[in-house]
Amino acid sequence: MDKRRVVVTGLGVVGAPGIGVDRFWEGIDADIGPGPHKIVDWDPAPTIPRREARRLDRFAQFGVVAADEALDMAGDLEVDPNRVTVNVATGIGGLQSLEWLIREAEKDKPRYGPMWIPMMMCNAAAASISIRYGFGGQVSTPVVACAAGAQAILDGLRQIQWGYADAAVVGGAEAAIEPETIGGFVSARALSPANVARPFDRDRDGFTLGEGAGILILEEMASARSRGATILAELVGGASTADAHHITAPHPEGEGAERAVRLALKDGGLPPDRIGYINAHGTGTELNDRTEAGVIKRVFGDDGPAVSSIKGVTGHGLGASGAIEALVAALAIHRGTVPRTVGLETPDPGIEPLDHILERRAWDPAAVLSNSFGFGGHNTVLVFSPTG
């Protein structure tokens, strides 16, 4: 059986640079100052009625709002709703609700709400989208740390490629900027003391936290074309691997990450020289940036593609980050520009040199690689391309 071709027809995003695709794309090059990059004055209305919103954790609200925008952009899918899969990932899930529950438990006479358990569930965003729109296909929630959002997209790709679904709502959502999370990452010496992420910079000292959601609508190409949908990009391949090395640190030579990149290229049927841009994982930590730069250099050589990371402005959205960055990869193809790396001033001479994007760059769109690497040694890589 030949794999079916899969395209992107809708995008939706909630993030610190802006809520909604247009505002986000405009804000993604702005230096918005130190993190954590929390979304201020968040109000899910009018997308989610207030009574319903009270039954959803913040991360699930992000996911529903982003899905609503993506589905609106895609238009009428014209497929059996029971053949629409919903894969929406998270890294931590309903942390805000968990903290409410802990505070209530500490009271002399705690009163537990009946919705607190479902609000904490990691699958709450995916389930809420399925219920809201009546999508009865597979509904799942990968929880693979910072690779989760990308893994959800890869899972949706496979569902359509092999005929189990005709369309997919895929991505990730996260709302984990809470004192306990910050304290844990500080203890792990992963966060920047100044709360400023500087991906690939000589003076980088850690990442900053972010939050939000990114949702993509995937469709089988023939179906999308037959209904006259606007095709933003084609998702041609992807791969996931494990480092099998350490619960937090990447493999020192990036062995698992390199395999994921090479397998994703093979899956997409593209040689390395067909990649024109890499949206890097690029967290701004010492180990990640050094390892990722080495992988890029080994796979693509001295004349490699342009590279940028958006985490200097979005913060690290953990389980949402891979989805938001995949959305950026699709937008780079559709809109004909690639974003810069905010926070990068002096490329670190101690790591492999790359073609860093220091100012937003116009380009003749080509294939794009989107890298996501997570705690636990999870590596997920996606490949997007203009539709030929």
d(CA 158, CA 135): 18
pLDDT surpasses 90 at 114: no
* Annotated catalytic residue, options 37, 122, 146, 378: 146
Question: Does residue 356 have an active-site annotation?
Answer: no
d(CA 55, CA 161): 35
Q: Determine the pLDDT at residue 350.
A: 94
pLDDT surpasses 90 at 180: no
pLDDT digits (tens, 9 = 90+) for 75-85: 999 999 999 99
Q: What is the DSSP string of 95-151?
A: HHHHHHHHHHHTSSS----TTHHHHH-TTHHHHHHHHHHT--S-EE----GGGHHHH
- Are β-strands 84-89 and 18-19 bridged in parallel, bridged antiparallel, or unpaired? unpaired
Question: Worst-scoring range by mean pLDDT, 96-100, 141-145, 173-177, 262-266?
Answer: 96-100
d(CA 209, CA 146): 12
- Mean pLDDT over the full length of the chain: 95
pLDDT surpasses 80 at 357: yes
Confidence band, pLDDT 50/70/90 cuts, at residue 110: confident
* Annotated catalytic residue, options 37, 122, 251, 281: 281
User: What is the three-state SS of 27-78?
Assistant: HCCCCCCCCCECCCCCCCCCCCCHHHHCCCCHHHHHHHHHHHHHHHHHCCCC
For the chain, give the number of residues: 388
* Annotated catalytic residue, options 37, 122, 251, 316: 316
Going from the C-alpha of 257 to that of each of 5, 73, 282, the distances in angstroms are: 25, 33, 13
* Mean pLDDT of all residues in 337-346: 97
The yes/no answer on whether domain 6-375 falls in CATH 3.40.47.10 is: yes
* Mean pLDDT of all residues in 51-78: 97
- Residue 160 has phi, psi (to 5 degrees) of -80, -45
Structure tokens, 127: 């389930």
Question: Does residue 281 have an active-site annotation?
Answer: yes
pLDDT surpasses 70 at 1: no
pLDDT digits (tens, 9 = 90+) for 285-333: 999 999 999 999 999 999 999 999 999 999 999 999 999 999 999 999 9
d(CA 372, CA 378): 8
* Mean pLDDT of all residues in 59-73: 98
- Are β-strands 6-15 and 18-19 bridged in parallel, bridged antiparallel, or unpaired? antiparallel
Question: Does residue 122 have an active-site annotation?
Answer: no
Q: Where are the alpha helices (DSSP H) in 121-237?
A: 124-133, 148-161, 179-187, 221-226
Q: Determine the pLDDT at residue 104.
A: 80
